[in-house]
Amino acid sequence: QVQLVESGGGLVQPGWALRLSCAFSGSIFRTYAMGWYRQAPGKQRELVASITRSGITDYADSVKGRFTISRDNAKNTVFLQMNSLKSEATARYYCNSRPAYDYWGQGTQVTVSS
């Protein structure tokens, strides 16, 4: 069974930073690429960033230069460093493979507010 456990979210002020973590297990650990997705109220879930096992990254235009995705293959963990946070980043963040496996964890809430 696939397990996806996100953590690290919270409430921060604009301009501050957060580091999200995702521990995954099950058949998903063999996938070529992992990604971070987010979903805000009333909006569709969107891909924020992805990374292959060899370290090739891809980012949504809205976060380029501010977010950094990384992974520790030995520990089956994916990270998302989020710097210079804006209110637009407020959403629940999820990790999954890219393309996404048809299962989603609980996610972790990120709220950017002054």
Query: Tens digit of pLDDT for each residue in 60-69?
Result: 999 999 999 9
The predicted pLDDT at position 56 comes to: 96
User: Rounded CA gap, 11 and 74, in Å?
Assistant: 30
User: Rounded CA gap, 41 and 91, in Å?
Assistant: 7
Query: Tens digit of pLDDT for each residue in 23-66?
Result: 998 887 678 899 999 999 999 999 999 999 889 999 999 999 99
Beta strands of the chain (E only): which ranges? 3-7, 10-12, 18-25, 33-39, 46-52, 57-59, 67-72, 77-82, 91-97, 108-112
Mean pLDDT of 93-103: 94
- At 9, the pLDDT band (50, 70, 90 cuts) reads very high
103 and 66 Cβ atoms separated by less than 8 Å: no
User: Rounded CA gap, 48 and 92, in Å?
Assistant: 12
Residue among 73, 68, 91 nearest 23 (CA):
73
